[in-house]
Structure 1
Amino acid sequence: MIANPETVPTVRTMLDKYAEALEPWARATVTRMLAEVNQRDARQWAEQAQAMGLALRKELHQAPTGLAMRRLMEEQVTLITSLPREAGERVHDLVIKGLEDSVRADEIAREIKRSGQVTESRANLIARTEVARSASTLTQARAEHIGSEGYIWRTSGDSDVRHSHKQMEGKFVRWDSPPTLSDGTTTHAGQIYNCRCYPEPVIPDL
């Protein structure tokens, strides 16, 4: 028996409503994650503060991280709530394709079930990427506030580092000019999917 296309809008509507219902949870979850990343970044700066002048340490406490936090919040909530909507679009496409190709309903059902695995995989990708991106973005906000013009690109130093990122190890990068890597991507360290690199700020002498 072929799936009834009239059921597809219902599935998509339900998933759209689920995405809307997810927003408060997504916002609370992202808030906690950003707070943890912000505290970790602040601690790392504090550990280096002993080597800094008193004026510079005071400036670090006044860094305008709030704007960066709010921007990250909205971007990450949008990413999380997009997952069920994307699943709904995939279900719709699978059913329509099944009708066009006369695919049996049980085969369509198997593909739909596999959609959950695709969504889970993307959810994990978002989580890994956004934690690293948040850390890099907050480091940039604090560094620029105290006059840093750029950073040294650092990788995690293991065999999983992408070739294009390995080529960036030890290079100076300006905050206002993210580099275009050899694979064609333009990004700062730690600010692209699955990137475990990080920026080592170059602090001006005061």
Structure 2
Amino acid sequence: MKTSGPERLYRTQLRQVARQVGGLVNGFPPGDPAALPTIEQVLRAYAEALTPWAAATAQTMLREVNRRDEAAWAEYTRELSRALRTEIRTAPTGAAMQALLAEQVTLIKSIPLDAAQRVHRLTLEGIENSTRASAISKEIQRSGEVAESRADLIARTEVGRTASTLTEARALHVGSEGYIWRTSGDSDVREDHRELEGKFIRWDSPPIADKRTGRRAHAGCIYGCRCYPEPVIPED
């Protein structure tokens, strides 16, 4: 399923939050210990105020990805029985959607919260190491840029994870035991995932998707992953 459209839109929306973070931080003298409590308070208040916007933004993304997942399933099941197609179309994805929505709101609000923690850490570092005060001040002024990178990563990861989670919910509903791991097939595919291409993966046993950390995840469900699951549907 192609998710580039929803990802672009989600990234654009989350970058708005990052730019606002940069504007808020740069409204104070960089590295000024006296300003630190106020900066943190402002960023935390902004995160809390984001809640309704974050919920609406995330819901729009989820609905679009869900619509595309339904369309992809229509292609997968074209040759299957009418009864099975109906089962897939009416799969109970509500619980998965609610869980995904809550997770997206938390992630969106984490953009200013992470920025607050970063400013706190850098300010204290400047106090402890006055010889690096100038460099640290420049790093604080990069808060919007750093927040934008995080916004990009969230959009890239979460749209793919949403698609994979909805695919899994529908597949499990009709008795699928697993899927074929598929990569995007280009030179940017990480080596760990290139090794998984074409392998059968059980839904109840996600593989190691990052050998460096030992983290297990299904296709499309780990940071920056563009892979996707091709569900194996039972014939009966």
* TM bracket, shorter-chain basis: over 0.9
2:225 corresponds to 1:195: yes
Superposed, 1:47-196 pairs within 5 Å as 47-103=75-131, 107-181=135-209, 183=211, 184-196=214-226
TM-score by length of 2: 0.83
Q: Does structure 2 retain, via aligned residues, the 8 Å contact 1:2–1:102?
A: no
> What does the per-residue CA deviation read over 1:167-199, in whole Å, with 9 as the maximum and x for residues that have no partner?
001100000110124612211001001111110
Distance 1:9 1:56, change over 3 A: same
Instruction: Give the count of matched residue pairs.
Output: 206
CA displacement, residues 107-160 of structure 1 (integer Å, 9 cap, x when unaligned): 443111112211110110000100000000000000010110000101111111
Q: Cα RMSD over matched residues?
A: 1.7
Distance 1:3 1:136, change over 3 A: closer
Counterpart position of 1:43: 71
| C-alpha distance in structure 1 between counterparts of 2:207 and 2:132, whole Å | 49
Cα distance in structure 1, aligned partners of 2:30 and 2:47: 28
Of 137-146 and 57-66, deviating more is 57-66
Determine if contact 1:2/1:99 at 8 Å carries over to the other structure. no
Q: Give yes or no for contact 1:2–1:105 (8 Å, CA) kept in 2.
A: no
Query: Tell me, which stretches of 5 or more residues in structure 2 are unaligned?
Result: 1-28
Shift of 1:2: 9.3
The corresponding residue for 1:204 is 234
Q: 1:2 to 1:62 in 2, by over 3 A?
A: closer
Instruction: Check conservation: 1:129, 1:191, Cα contact below 8 A.
Output: yes
In 1, distance between residues paired with 2:137 and 2:209?
A: 41
- Residue identity (%): 60
Work out whether residues 153 and 197 of structure 1, in 8 Å CA contact, stay in contact via their aligned partners in 2: yes
For 1:35, the aligned partner's letter is R
Q: 1:182 to 1:88 in 2, by over 3 A?
A: closer
Residues 4 and 200 of structure 1: CA distance in aligned 2, closer, same or farther (over 3 Å): closer
Gaps of 5+ in 1: none
Identify the range of structure 1 (176-185 vs 153-162) with the bigger mean alpha-carbon deviation: 176-185
Residue 104 of structure 1, CA deviation: 7.2
SS, match of residue 208 in structure 2: coil
**What CA distance in whole angstroms lies between the structure 1 residues aligned with 2:30 and 2:45?**
26
